[in-house]
Chain A
Amino acid sequence: SQQGEEDPQALSIQEGENATMNCSYKTSINNLQWYRQNSGRGLVHLILIRSNEREKHSGRLRVTLDTSKKSSSLLITASRAADTASYFCATGGSYIPTFGRGTSLIVHP
């Protein structure tokens, strides 16, 4: 299975702190994506990193990919209460995406 698994399962921080969550997967991938899900809503795409990329930035988001370790990390800098959500990584070798169980992030104001 290419299923990504996020770590930690839950993360609680104060506003202004950085939040780091990790994703590990088992087989080779074409790209890896991170999504956010607010309570009661659908998933929202955050960032896609290709297998030949090592780091990617988007606003306060920084994603790294280490294909040798089959792992990725998502860093949210200067967190805000509005960042409270679940974060999922999705891996795909072809067209079938596989989502992990997610990291639940709570940012306290």
Chain B
Amino acid sequence: DAGVIQSPRHEVTEMGQEVTLRCKPISGHNSLFWYRQTMMRGLELLIYFNNNVPIDDSGMPEDRFSAKMPNASFSTLKIQPSEPRDSAVYFCASSWDRGFHEQYFGPGTRLTVT
């Protein structure tokens, strides 16, 4: 198995532009998590999906952030419009079931908004 796949690995964009981050979880996993990591705030959970349904999005910072999971093998995190304070590393992780199980993290997308 290739593990969790994220794209792009690096994204540099200008303030005000739309950014879309993509994630392919491990096949067979039915829980998917989006995290944001910064030096200031550490690792923050943004949203959690189970069986493609958003269960908890209380970590999404503002309406500029949205996430979708149209099927079991694909999820997107969109920021529109982007701002410099959105600069961070965004991780996608998946696990095999609902509940607090071992999570498998992708390599992350390093987003820089200028």
Binding site for B on A (CB under 8 A): 30-31, 33, 35, 41-45, 48, 88, 90, 92-102
Query: In the complex, what residues of B have CB within 8 A of residue A88's CB?
Result: 43
Query: In the complex, what residues of B have CB within 8 A of residue A96's CB?
Result: 45, 48, 56, 100
Known: A33-B102, A94-B99. A100 touches B45 (CB 8 A): no
Query: In the complex, what residues of A have CB within 8 A of residue B107's CB?
Result: 41-42
Query: In the complex, what residues of B have CB within 8 A of residue A99's CB?
Result: 42-43, 45
Per-position 1/0 for B38-75, Cβ under 8 A of A: 00001101001010000110000000000000000000
Give the shortest distance, in Å, between A97 (CB) and chain B (any CB): 6
- Are the CB atoms of B100 and A95 closer together than 8 Å? yes
Query: In the complex, what residues of A have CB within 8 A of residue B42's CB?
Result: 99-102
The contact sample of 6 A-B pairs, CB cut-off 8 A, is A33-B103, A35-B103, A42-B4, A44-B105, A95-B99, A95-B100
- Are the CB atoms of A95 and B43 closer together than 8 Å? no
Q: In this complex, which of B4, B31, B100 has the most chain A Cβ atoms within 10 angstroms of its Cβ?
A: B100
Query: In the complex, what residues of B have CB within 8 A of residue A31's CB?
Result: 100
- Are the CB atoms of A45 and B104 closer together than 8 Å? yes
Give the shortest distance, in Å, between A19 (CB) and chain B (any CB): 20
Give the shortest distance, in Å, between A51 (CB) and chain B (any CB): 11
8 extra interchain contacts, Cβ-Cβ under 8 A, other than A45-B103, A94-B100?
A33-B102, A42-B106, A43-B93, A44-B105, A95-B31, A97-B33, A99-B43, A102-B43
- Are the CB atoms of A45 and B102 closer together than 8 Å? yes
- Are the CB atoms of A48 and B105 closer together than 8 Å? no
Known: A42-B108, A43-B105. A92 touches B100 (CB 8 A): yes
Query: In the complex, what residues of B have CB within 8 A of residue A44's CB?
Result: 105
CA A90 to CA B103, docked complex, whole Å: 10
Query: Does B34 count as interface, using CB distance less than 8 angstroms?
Result: no
Query: In the complex, what residues of A have CB within 8 A of residue B43's CB?
Result: 43, 88, 99, 102
Query: In the complex, what residues of A have CB within 8 A of residue B4's CB?
Result: 42
Which one of A33, A42, A93 contacts B91 once the chains associate, using CB atoms below 8 Å?
A42
